[in-house]
Structure 1
């Protein structure tokens, strides 16, 4: 009996120590849950590695930081190939992901999504101050650069046939250079990429024009059945209401978001 009692006292003391340590850890991190977040490191300007700091930066990373603060969780962030992100959420090795992930019916069958936080699609890039090109219809009779294999080529051919002179380029840098060298009248390509180029290397020489075409929406992906969906949605809504979202948007894209965002 004495032996059992002695063992019981040791176990109780050990448990008390663990509880004490757990309480200290909880106090240290504010009692917040720590979620596992993943992203793709190569979708500029949504997520990219800052060579000076060695940290991931970009539009999505700024959104994640602010959402976590408002929703009440901390997170560990790791990078992986885009193709591995949805499987990581399915297996539970990740809790949430931001990587310019388009909300689709197929993906919604296996993961949860937040409300949309970014409207993507195709957009026109024109030479700075060229008011002859304002919308898609103004591309008739123009020389337009697209990227080989992109949806922009199919979009233009379906809409205009041969009334637009479409030139496919192997890389986006090639078509941007052709535009600035006056070999093209415009570029038609993914909205985030053209906006970023206009904000950085093309600043003062090219600019975006017109609305988005063939629209898509990005959402924060969470593992199926996540308890954080409502909190994330409330955080996103409050960011849009108080202007924080607009500030983040302008920082990374160089322009204010559409009025309804």
Structure 2
């Protein structure tokens, strides 16, 4: 009987932790606080730590500019990207999307002096606009403006607005707020409503396509048992409470 029970336990262990256990994946992030932080306590940092526990994988989050983050994941230099818009696999054929969203985004128009109601991309056309290189949905949406400047980092983008090199910038709201606060700029404003809203999904290089079902299941189980909501509350909701003026 004992031997049988031991065998049953061993079998169970095999079911819970598939052969991927111990595998380390380098996953790129082009994000900033409160999503990923140098201390690795941002929402995405904590989400991937928990995903690691649930899948037996080790996720190493690597900070890279948005364009390089994607091309490195696509070429197989790195293993994936923490979260991006749906549909990138059309442009980057070696990337496979995890079908469960990990974060929702709001792309906002930040301004120093101009003021208008944001009515889609057309309402940006009269202005000199700044965006981030490699943020695909913004690159595709913001076209035909008076001028368009593209920079690599959020702090460069906000500085460009502060120094009046552009009239407005388009940026994800939370990271924009965090960086404005860090830089001590209190005179910039966020125009409403959002230019774009949507969901971000993890992507893996197709050589890891076999891991997608277990990662998808782990994200879903985190949402079902409340872990996801708790992480969100501890990081993003906390941030919102402290930084909305």
What TM-score do you get using the length of structure 1 for normalisation? 0.54
Q: 5+ residue gaps in structure 2?
A: 1-9
Aligned with 1:213 (options 196, 201, 212):
196
Deviation at 1:133, TM superposition (A): 3.2
Deviation at 1:221, TM superposition (A): 1.7
User: What SS class does the counterpart of residue 230 from structure 1 fall into?
Assistant: helix
* Partner of residue 37, structure 1: 25
* Partner of residue 12, structure 1: none
* Partner of residue 117, structure 2: 133
Q: Could you say if the C-alpha distance between residues 177 and 72 of structure 1 is closer, same or farther in structure 2, counting changes exceeding 3 Å?
A: closer
Q: 5+ residue gaps in structure 1?
A: 1-22, 51-55, 159-163, 257-261
Q: CA RMSD in A?
A: 4.7
Deviation at 1:198, TM superposition (A): 0.9
Contact 1:126–1:133, Cα closer than 8 Å, also in 2 = no
User: What SS class does the counterpart of residue 237 from structure 1 fall into?
Assistant: helix
* Partner of residue 84, structure 1: 72
Aligned positions of 1:94-243 closer than 5 A: 97-103=80-86, 104-106=88-90, 110-115=94-99, 116-119=101-104, 122-126=107-111, 132-136=116-120, 139=123, 143-147=127-131, 152=138, 155-158=141-144, 165-166=146-147, 168=149, 170=151, 172-177=154-159, 179-180=161-162, 186-189=168-171, 191=172, 194-202=173-181, 205-207=188-190, 209-213=192-196, 217-221=200-204, 223-224=206-207, 226-243=209-226
Deviation at 1:124, TM superposition (A): 1.7
Deviation at 1:66, TM superposition (A): 1.9
Deviation at 1:196, TM superposition (A): 0.7
Contact 2:108–2:190, Cα closer than 8 Å, also in 1 = no
What TM-score do you get using the length of structure 2 for normalisation? 0.57
Deviation at 1:105, TM superposition (A): 3.3
Deviation at 1:75, TM superposition (A): 1.5
